Chains A and B, each alone.
Chain A
Amino acid sequence: MSTRPSSADWSTDFDHLDPRWAENPYPIWDELRQKCPIAHTERFQGAYFPSRYEDVRAIAYDTEHFSSRRPVVREVRPPLIPAPPITSDPPDHRPAKQILLPAFTPEAIARHEPCTREICRELLGRIGDSKRCDGAVEYSQEIPVRVIAHMLGVPEQDGNLFRKWIKEVLEIGITDFAVLMRAQGEMIGYFAEKIAARRARPEDDLICYLVNVRVEDRPLTDDHINGTLRLLLIAGIDTTWSAIGSCLWHLAQHADDRRRLTAEQDLMNSAIEEFLRAYAPVTMAREVVKETQIAGCTFKTGHMVLLSFPAANRDPAMFPDADRVILDRVQNRHATFGLGIHRCVGSNLARMEIRVALTEWLARFPEFRLDPDAPTTWSMGTVHGPRELPLLLGA
């Protein structure tokens, strides 16, 4: 990736894999909103980048011209690899999503809260009285992987394998087609085995639920079940891991917010919404399947759209003082979980995990800061969050 030609003009040659974009995209997006709200690049075989909330919203709502069948902007267009419902368009989308929704309502998710709390406490117990730790590696990355493993019914000891696949599918696989296809193949094989095992011996988990569920009296195909399981695994892990990490990264640098959040427990929910807005982890993609115009810009068939909910969330036309984190922001219609029919199916799960993770962390470590001698490192590409977050613990 180091050999990529550097972008000279973000408006006509944007590159979200450019290290400058990965590290601090906010000034770039501000400039684009002023100069060229819908940028384009010939990279990635042609892609658009809308930076304003209203345009991101318009595209997310327009399923006629913009397909979800390729949910990631990649260097090449791989064969379609369905993972319903995220890759589904109407009319297939609705039934594929309806199947999952009952398992992810706030009420259903509340049943996983005690287990999440236990995981957080165990991880904090392991950090113990250390004076330093890596908030990403030792804490945030471990929480969602264990919770989703528990929900799906796969061993949480396979966490390293899951994280390897995620890096291969969402990071390395953006530019390396062979790595992407190999990871997809490994995941398909992994879940094919689990599906067969559930057919032989039922368990009380999501895999078994998907094996048994009927849509209009018909069971799902194995391809459908496998795709949905791969989606839940990938989407359930590094998104929330990134979100929790970004919260800790912010709090490590803002003593005022940290102390306020510790003192005012009532603030937690609006603070989480604000962290979600300011540090939205997920950027999705659409493929233009029918030429159209948005905000006077022609979207040509066959090009991709980098659909950046993080950029929408920093649009000052929608969020006054968009670059400031305001824990008690009153109006916050952030797009972090998407807008329109593809609203993240796991949004209630993510919110629960973030809330429990932060509450438990602050109860154990009310004081912490970034380690000045060790840098924070960030993921690249589809999901944005700290991958190494060295912290000094205690006052």
Chain B
Amino acid sequence: MLSCLSVREHPGKSAGMSATKILKVRVDRERCQGHARCFALAPELFELDQFGNGRERGDGTVPTALEDKARLAQANCPEMAVEIIEE
């Protein structure tokens, strides 16, 4: 469960990769309990509503430069509410 975390290395950066994948983040509204870790770790990708519950900004698209932050946010959500989707 823990070993799959890869924050420092991620696909897409290595020179040989051809197909560009789009990463998106999504907060599962049912699971989120407002710990606000995603917002603390990646405010560029997440925002909080008036109750302090998290949600992805816009359509959740993660710019390449923020992929590490997206994975960090996912890895630190106590409710496992942050999903990363590859399109």
Binding site for B on A (CB under 8 A): 98, 101-102, 104-107, 269, 273, 318, 320, 330-335, 337, 339-341, 343, 347-348
A333→B80 contact, CB < 8 A: yes
The one of A104, A273, A341, A347 in contact with B76, judged by C-beta atoms closer than 8 angstroms, is A273
B27-38 interface mask toward A, CB cutoff 8 Å, 1 = contact, 0 = none? 000000111100
Known: A269-B40, A333-B77. A105 touches B52 (CB 8 A): yes
Nearest CB of B to A285, in Å = 19
Q: Which parts of B37-87 form the interface with A (CB within 8 Å)?
A: 39-40, 48, 50-52, 72, 75-80
Inside 8 A of A335's CB, which chain B residues have their CB? 78
Question: Can you add 15 more A-B contacts, CB < 8 Å, to A106-B48, A269-B40, A331-B76?
Answer: A101-B50, A102-B52, A105-B48, A106-B52, A273-B76, A330-B5, A331-B5, A331-B75, A333-B76, A335-B78, A340-B79, A343-B33, A343-B35, A347-B35, A348-B52
Q: Chain B: which residue is nearest A103 at the CB level? A: B52
* Contact, CB under 8 Å: B52 / A330: no
Main secondary structure of the interface of B (DSSP, over half): loop
| Contact of A106 with B39 in the complex, beta carbons under 8 Å | yes
Which 3 pairs from chain A and chain B are nearest by CB? Answer: A105-B52, A343-B33, A101-B51
Given A102-B51, A340-B33: A334 in contact with B78 (beta carbons within 8 A): yes
Q: Chain A residues with Cβ under 8 A from B15's Cβ? A: none
Task: State the CA gap A390–B77 with chains docked (Å).
Answer: 36
Binding site for A on B (CB under 8 A): 2, 5, 7, 33-36, 39-40, 48, 50-52, 72, 75-80
CA distance A52 to B36 in the complex (A): 24
Q: Are A106 and B40 in contact (CB under 8 A)?
A: yes
Contact check, B2 vs A331: say whether CB atoms are below 8 A apart.
Answer: yes
Complex Cα distance, B5 from A137, in Å, reads 41
CB atoms of A339 and B78 under 8 A apart = yes
A105 touches B51 (CB 8 A): yes
Measured in the bound complex, the distance between the Cα atoms of B77 and A106 in whole Å is 16
Interface contact A333-B50, CB-CB below 8 Å: no
> A107 — which chain B residues lie within 8 A by C-beta?
48
Chain A residues with Cβ below 8 Å from B35 are 337, 343, 347
CA distance A106 to B34 in the complex (A): 10
> Of B40, B48, B75, which is within 8 A of A330 by CB?
B75
The residue of chain A having its C-beta at the shortest distance from the C-beta of B2 within the complex is A331
The complex places the Cα of A106 from the Cα of B46 at a distance, in Å, of 13
User: Which B residue sits closest to A273, measured CB to CB?
Assistant: B76
Bound together, the chains give a CA A331 to CA B52 distance in angstroms of 22
Q: How far is A330 from B50 in the complex, measured between Cα atoms in Å?
A: 28
Per the bound structure, the CA–CA distance linking A273 and B39 in Å amounts to 14
Chain B contacts for A340, CB-based, 8 A: 33, 79
User: Smallest distance from the beta carbon of B67 to chain A beta carbons, Å?
Assistant: 14
**Measured CA separation A18–B77 after assembly (Å):** 34
Contact between chains at A330 and B78 (CB < 8 Å): no
Q: Please report the C-alpha to C-alpha distance between residue A106 and residue B5 in the assembled complex, in whole angstroms.
A: 27
Query: In the complex, what residues of B have CB within 8 A of residue A98's CB?
Result: 51
